[in-house]
């Protein structure tokens, strides 16, 4: 089983800690989140120099809302990538699920809450169907989900009908991205997040000590919590300058934390890594490989559906372009850029959020600079290619010669 990066990437296997050791681990592809955080800082600095509105409170608030849907979809993408599989249909699934929700809520008179549940059921059903073809017939996930990429937009057109666009009136659906917490609530959320993270780090350190394993010095162990605290409090301070901490941000962070716990602390999570690392070895170890694959594809499509709900909530409408190609590009590019391997068995769920920040920041910054769409796609594609190249290079470094 491969070690999984922590959100801040500072946990060490031994008590040795030095700048040289950190650089060596970065070169081997470890401490992936540190590399991404540095990249985010560089990107923000460049865009701030180019346009002094980039780091304004209103723009950063808008950025958090813009990445909420993609980050949610990317969580499911990470789970699938950990299996060594791919899902090219997540964008189309998000659009179809959002279309079902909008039509049921606006045209059919369903309650917004029930319409959201229906959207999630649609997503889970699609994941179940695609997972069945992949596991039962041994079809490549690339082929099956490519078929979904082509088919589900057609179903979206059928669902929307002749109107083409379904505006969303104020309701629980629009409140998902339209709700902002009071400053005091925002500070309370930040304190709670930091407290939980500190508790998790110290608890893990204590468990290693009880098991007779080496533990890093306390000062080293508290580096990651200190960085998380600094980031959380800075984020709340900035967001409070505008409208406050958005509900959508809290939802995305909560989902990321939950699935991070699942992948890193549960048997199911260990099975995902095992299947992604070596499916045949996992099968011989008694792991139900097909069940794991099926479950992950269901989770991936369900998260894609919820991402579609968040996107519709922000845009206040669903149309024929919902879940377009850009959504798929960003949802897959983000985790890969943030360190989740395309080769399976290596990565961490927090890469979904970190990757969404990278991709979202690049897109947002280029929008502020008024760049054309063709330039935006060229730059984003170049960043993705560079990230995949780095992933392949660090993979070769880890392999014995």
pLDDT for 10 equals 38
The span from the CA of 144 to the CA of 140, in Å, is 6
The span from the CA of 380 to the CA of 331, in Å, is 12
Q: Is 372 exposed, middle or buried (0-12, 13-18, 19+ CB in 10 A)?
A: exposed
**What count of other Cβ atoms lies within 10 Å of the Cβ of residue 258?**
12
Q: How many residues does the chain have?
A: 401
- Sequence ranges of the domains in the chain: 19-23+30-179+246-396
Residue 29 structure tokens? 């592809």
| pTM of structure | 0.90
The span from the CA of 139 to the CA of 143, in Å, is 7
- pLDDT (tens digit, 0 to 9) for every residue of the chain, 401 residues total? 444 444 444 343 333 445 555 545 544 445 557 778 888 999 999 999 999 999 999 999 999 999 999 999 999 999 999 999 999 999 999 999 999 999 999 999 999 999 999 999 999 999 999 999 999 999 999 999 999 999 999 999 999 988 789 999 999 999 999 999 999 999 999 999 999 989 988 888 888 889 888 888 888 888 888 988 999 999 999 999 999 999 999 999 999 999 999 999 999 999 999 999 999 999 999 999 999 999 999 999 999 999 999 999 999 999 999 998 789 989 998 898 888 888 777 889 999 999 999 999 999 999 999 988 888 888 878 877 877 777 677 666 666 55
pLDDT for 208 equals 87
Domain 19-23+30-179+246-396 matching CATH 1.10.3470: the answer reads yes
The span from the CA of 43 to the CA of 385, in Å, is 17
3-state SS, the chain, equals: CCCCCCCCCCCCCCCCCCHHHHHHHHHCCCCHHHHHHHHHHHHHHHHHHHCCCCCCHHHHHHHHHHHHHHHHHHHHHHHHHHCCCCCCCHHHHHHHHHHHHHHHHHHCCCCHHHHHHHHHHHHHHHHHHHHHHHHHCCCCHHHHHHHHHHHHHHHHHHHHCCCCEEECCCCHHHHHHHCECCHHHHHHHHHHHHHHHHHHHHHHHHHHHHCCCCCCCHHHHCHHHHHHHHHHHHHHHHHHHCCCCEHHHHHHHHHHHHHHHHHHHCHHHHHHHHHHHCHHHHHHCCCCHHHHHHHHHHHHHHHHHHHHHHHHHHHCEEECCCCCHHHHHHHHHHHHHCCCCCCCCCCCCHHHHHHHHHHHHHHHHHHHCCCCHHHHHHHHHHHHHHHHHHHHHHHHHHCCC
pLDDT for 31 equals 54
pLDDT for 113 equals 97
CB–CB of 224/255 below 8 Å?
A: no
Query: How many Å is the Cα radius of gyration of the chain?
Result: 21
Candidates 311, 363, 310, 298; CA nearest to 334 is 363
Q: Which neighbouring-strand residues pair with 166? A: 318
pLDDT for 9 equals 41
């Amino acid at each position: 089983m491969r070690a999984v990066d922590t959100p801040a990437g500072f946990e060490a296997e031994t008590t040795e800690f030095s700048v040289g050791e950190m650089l060596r681990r970065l070169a081997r592809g470890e401490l992936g989140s540190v590399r991404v955080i540095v990249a985010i800082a560089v990107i923000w600095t460049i865009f701030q120099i180019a346009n002094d509105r980039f780091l304004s409170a209103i723009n950063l608030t808008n950025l958090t809302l813009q990445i909420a849907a993609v980050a949610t979809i990317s969580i499911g993408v990470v789970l699938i990538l950990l299996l060594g599989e791919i899902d090219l249909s997540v964008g189309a699934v998000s659009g179809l699920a959002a279309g079902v929700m909008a039509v049921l809520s606006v045209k059919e008179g369903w309650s917004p809450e029930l319409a959201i549940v229906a959207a999630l059921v649609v997503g889970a059903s699609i994941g179940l169907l695609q997972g069945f073809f992949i596991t039962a017939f041994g079809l490549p996930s690339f082929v099956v989900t490519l078929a979904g990429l082509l088919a589900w937009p057609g179903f979206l057109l059928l669902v929307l009908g002749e109107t083409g666009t379904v505006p969303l009136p104020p309701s629980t659906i629009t409140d998902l991205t339209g709700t902002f917490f009071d400053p005091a609530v925002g500070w309370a959320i930040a304190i709670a997040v930091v407290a939980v993270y500190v508790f998790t780090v110290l608890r893990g350190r204590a468990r290693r000590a009880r098991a007779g394993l080496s533990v890093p010095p306390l000062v080293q162990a508290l580096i990651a919590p200190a960085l998380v605290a600094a980031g959380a409090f800075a984020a709340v301070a900035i967001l409070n300058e505008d409208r406050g901490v958005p509900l959508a941000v809290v939802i995305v962070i909560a989902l990321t934390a939950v699935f991070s716990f699942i992948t890193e602390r549960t048997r199911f999570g260990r099975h995902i890594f095992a299947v992604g690392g070596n499916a045949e070895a996992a099968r011989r170890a008694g792991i139900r490989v097909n069940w794991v694959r099926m479950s992950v594809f269901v989770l991936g499509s369900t998260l894609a559906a919820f991402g579609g709900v968040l996107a519709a909530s922000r845009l206040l409408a669903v149309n024929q372009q919902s879940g377009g190609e850009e959504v798929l590009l960003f949802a897959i590019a983000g985790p890969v850029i943030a360190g989740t391997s395309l080769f399976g068995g290596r990565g961490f769920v927090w890469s979904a959020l970190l990757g969404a920040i990278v991709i979202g920041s690049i897109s947002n910054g280029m929008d502020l600079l008024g760049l054309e769409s063709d330039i935006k796609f060229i730059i984003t594609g170049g960043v993705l290619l560079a990230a995949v190249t780095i992933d392949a290079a660090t993979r070769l470094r880890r392999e014995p010669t």
